[in-house]
Amino acid sequence: MEKLEFATFGGGCFWCLEAVYSKIIGINSITPGYSGGSIRNPTYEQVCSGDTGHAEVIQMSFDPKNMAYKTLLDWFWISHDPTTLNKQGGDIGTQYRSVIFYQSEDQKKIAYESKKNVEAEGMYDEPIVTEIINLQEFFPAEEYHHDYYRKNPDARYCTYIIKPKLYKLKLE
């Protein structure tokens, strides 16, 4: 019987992160949602207002025997710009911040080590502003956000933002 773990990351629009991680073999499931805010069960509209403190995130389940948490972090660092505060491209606001929500002391340690290594490698010219904080709660997003890119490949955001990102990362 496999023992699944969870990883929760925010790096801009959850549609983008979900599209990237959906191409990675070894992830059991991905759920877009909201974390890090002050109200329970927020709606998309509430989160978009920027008043709840929530970030758009994805929560993935994975079997640590088949996928290392560090590997998920490696993809995290290259799938968005961790140097822009509360902004990814045209998506602006605290809901689009770069954040790692750890769920164990082991994940916390690995996340800090990973961030330190990325900084030491000089992967980015600017300082990394990614928050690393303990996950308190995760609230799944409304159903129409789930698997958005696969269901809406010709939508404007998918065509101009997600598809080029997937090509850049050699995932499509």
Q: Are the C-beta atoms of 87 and 43 separated by less than 8 Å?
A: no
Tell me the C-alpha distance between 97 and 11, whole Å. 6
Q: Is 48 noted as a catalytic residue in this protein?
A: no
Neighbour-count burial of 149, counting CB atoms closer than 10 A to its CB (0-12 exposed, 13-18 middle, 19+ buried): buried
Closest CA to 99 of 34, 40, 164: 34
Q: Which residues contact 162 (CB under 8 A, 6 or more apart)?
A: 15, 16, 19, 149
Q: Which amino acid is present at 149? A: Y
Q: Which residues are catalytic?
A: 13
